[in-house]
Structures are given as C-alpha cells and as structure tokens.
Amino acid sequence: MLLELFLAMFLGILCGIVTGLVPGIHVNLVSVLLISFSAVLLTYTSPIVLAVFIIALAITHTFLDAIPSIYLGAPTEAQALNVLPGHRLLLKGLGHNAIVYTVIGALGSLLLSILLFPFFIFSMKKLSPIVSAMVGYLLIGVMVYMILKDKGKRLKALVVFLLSGALGLLVFSIPNLKQPLFPLLSGLFGFSILIESLRQKSFIPKQKNAPLSLSKKNLAKSVSAASGMGFVAAFLPGFGSAQAAIVATNVVGDIGDEGFLTLVGGINTANVLISIAAAYVLDKARNGAIVAVKDLIGGIGFQEMLIFVGVALVAGGVAALLTIYLSKVFAKYIVKINYTILLLGIIIFITLLTFYFDSFIGLAILLTATAIGLATSAFGVGKNHLMGCLILPVILYFIL
C-alpha cells in the first residue's frame, strides 16, 4: 500500500505540472474525469490511492499555475490578481523573481498552515456560523473602501466594478458552461493586458539574475495573511481564493508588488490544504479537488487527514523546486521569441480553447470581458476592481 501511495503522489505531481502550465486545463477537470473512470480504476487500486493522486495534483497545481499567469498572461481564478504585478516585473527583466515570490508565498503558507492545523480544526466549527453571517457585509465594506481609495476616479471605479460584477452574474447564470471562468478571467485580466502590450509595442527584456527584494516584514505579513484568508476561504461556501485575496490585500496594506505576489501565491495553496480540515471537521468540501476526494472515499477520517497533510507537504516541497526550475527555463527562452508573435499566438490559442470549451457563447464572454478590461485601462483605474466579476455574485449569495 505504501508503494502505491508514493506512486499515486508522484503521478499526481506530474499531472499537476500539466494542469499548472497549460491554460484551460484545471484541477477540477481532471478530478471529474477521474471520478468518471473511478469504477474501472477501483478494480485495480483503492479509493485512498486515487485520493492521494488528487491531493498531490491540487497542491502542485497551486505552485505551477503562476508561470502561465505571469509569463503568458493567462490567469486562473487564484492567479488573476497576480497578472498585472507579475507582468510589470516581467517587463523589468524580473519575471523569474516574480515566480519565486509566488513560490515563497505558497510554500510559506503551506508550512504555516500545517503548523496551525490543530488550531484550524479546533476553531473551524465554532467560527463557521459567525463568519458566514459577516462575509457578505465584509466584502461590501472592502469594495466600498477600494472604490473610495481611487480619489478622482471613484465613479469610474464603481462603473468598472458594476460592469464586471454584472458580467459575472450573467456568466454564472448561463447553464451548462464547461469553463465559465476561463473566458471571463482571460478577457478581463489576460487579453486586456496582452492587447495593451501589442498596442504599445512592448518587448520582453533579457531576464536578470537579480537578488530578491522582499523584506522580512512584508514576507511575514504576506504569508500570515495568506494562511488566515486561506482558512476563511476553506470553509465558507462561495468565498474562494480570489475573494480572499481582495480582503487580504486591504488588511495588510501596501506591501509592494513583491509582497502582493507572495500573498496571492500563498492563498490558494493554504486554501487547498485547509479544505482538508474543513472536510474532516464539517464534513463539507469547499474546494473542487476535495469534493472529488469525498466522492471517492465517502468521508475524511483522522487517519486519511494525516495522510493527506503529509502528501501535501511532500508535493509542495517538490512543486516548489519544479516551479523555480521551470521558471528559469521560461525566463531563458521567452526572450528568444518575437514578443509580438508570442502575444498573438497566446491570444489565438486562448480564443481557440474558449471556442472548444463553450463555442460561441464562450467567445461572446471573452469579447465582452476583454472590452471591459480595456475600458478599465482607458479609465486609468486599478484592475483589482475587475474582481467584481467574482465579488458581486458572492455578496449577493451571502446577503440575499
């Protein structure tokens, strides 16, 4: 059995590399496929082995998905806010450093969350009903604060938030979409930046081997905030990594691009890990990968929880090394490619992938989202207001 578990973890890490690096292939998609073929697979192995595969896959994915977000501008929900600061560092020749900051956040949050795991288990059941009643109003307060911070542009910031929020509500109301977030986030955050780069004829400079500039203070603030908000996101329905990132950035204040990348890099990893505790304590899964695990094994007991935490620790350590290595490969070769051709290639690839997943409806979402993203750039307001596409539906979920 021990050999099977190690093999499953190894295969999960390999699969996590693929889902992390290839835009549009998400952990949830692989998990659903695994559940679909579970009847056949379970004739050869046990449910716990398949569950270990999913945990290793999910943890590895949270490290690797920073690479396409920063180097290619193809964000997932968890990495959407990282696109702009990551792109800024990339155009300064510090793309690899941007990836390292996300790895520091992911690994730091993973280790801190494991240390705090007993506290999370103890407090989760007591805090769940209290925090659930407050989340909608907390998010309203955060968004009002963010809009008021844009002095001289408050009306434009409000318009951006409401436009993206309305688009989010519309997208989530359309039935049978295979990948609703892919065209939505690619348009709002990815395409708008890629098109601006094309318009300005930007180019990727030679990537530098520069020292990191993340202060110990900002590191501590980022990792602790990531673990704390990952904890909240792990047991609240509808409150995901993106919403947690918005709240966390307003809690920690100005921590610079480096601290921000560390913060956002850590939240999703902490969320996956702490979701294991939520499934154990509350018997509820708030994360797609953990939903698949519960479907396989029926419920997470104490022994299964310990196995999954151990797998997460090992997979996280391996994924950190893999991400740093692959980032160096990207940094070395991306400057050898004509940047205009690269941008056009990414735009065509994401467009084709959107059409493959959701046909003309997906293309309509992508086009509309891109228009809103470009309008945001023209207004000169922060792209964080575009998170209204996810924040507004969650606010309405909690307060209505």
Question: What is the length of the chain?
Answer: 400
Q: At what angle do helices 256-281 and 83-91 cross, to 10 degrees?
A: 140
Q: How far apart are CA 132 and CA 237, in angstroms?
A: 8
Q: For the segment 192-231, what is each residue's pLDDT rounded down to a tens digit?
A: 777 877 777 767 788 888 888 888 888 999 999 999 888 8
- What is the overall mean pLDDT for the chain? 85
pLDDT of residue 74: 58
pLDDT of residue 321: 97
Predicted TM-score (pTM) of this structure: 0.82
pLDDT of residue 19: 86
Q: How far apart are CA 290 and CA 92, in angstroms?
A: 38
pLDDT of residue 285: 72
pLDDT of residue 82: 56
Residue 306 has pLDDT above 90, yes or no: yes
Q: How far apart are CA 232 and CA 136, in angstroms?
A: 13
Q: Which residue has the higher pLDDT, 369 or 71?
A: 369
Of residues 306, 303, 302, the one with CA closest to residue 314: 306
Q: What band does 320 get if pLDDT is binned at 50, 70 and 90?
A: very high
What sign does the dihedral 59-63-66-71 (CA atoms) show? negative
| Cβ neighbour number for residue 170 with a 10 Å cutoff | 14
Q: For the segment 73-98, what is each residue's pLDDT rounded down to a tens digit?
A: 655 555 555 567 887 888 888 889 99
pLDDT of residue 8: 93
Q: What band does 105 get if pLDDT is binned at 50, 70 and 90?
A: very high
pLDDT of residue 117: 92
pLDDT of residue 372: 95
Q: How far apart are CA 51 and CA 290, in angstroms?
A: 9
pLDDT of residue 238: 61
Q: Which residue has the higher pLDDT, 369 or 26?
A: 369
Q: Which residues of 234-257 are buried (b: 16+ CB within 10 A; e: fewer)?
A: bbbebbbbbbbbbbbbeebeebeb
Q: What band does 161 get if pLDDT is binned at 50, 70 and 90?
A: very high
Least confident of 194-198, 315-319, 326-330: 194-198
Residue 24 has pLDDT above 80, yes or no: no
